[in-house]
Amino acid sequence: MTQDEQVELMVDYIMKHCLWQFHSRSWDREKQNAGILGKTRQLLCDETVELATPADRCYWVDAVVLADAYRSRFAWLSSMSHEAITALIGALHQRLDYLTITGSLNAELTDQRY
């Protein structure tokens, strides 16, 4: 399976099961995508997760759920190196940012009055 195929499976899970993707402003989506996916990568790579701020803890909760779902659904993750997981999550982050921010047709994302 190619990395692109893996990314699409991971995106598909997020789009179908994660409500956090629906923040109403682009800057909220940027912060949450980076926070949740960054912490998901740390969890999948067995790294220590920073929980110093309320935002860190909020992102961590969603990351725990996402990492658990990915581990249970995608057996191929268990055979990947930490470097490969890091690259995969980086590609997932780029794709998710495109779908939910830069490629989105949702005009609310850039409405200055919202």
Report helix angle 3-17 to 82-97, nearest 10: 60
Average pLDDT, integer, range 97-104: 81
What residue ranges do the domains of the chain occupy?
3-17+27-103
Distance CA 101, CA 36 (A): 15
* Greater model confidence, 11 or 112: 11
Q: Which of 84, 44, 51 is nearest to 66 (CA)?
A: 44
List, for residues 13-56, the tens digit of each pLDDT value: 999 999 876 767 777 889 999 999 999 999 999 999 999 999 99
List, for residues 63-77, the tens digit of each pLDDT value: 999 999 999 999 999
Distance CA 68, CA 95 (A): 21
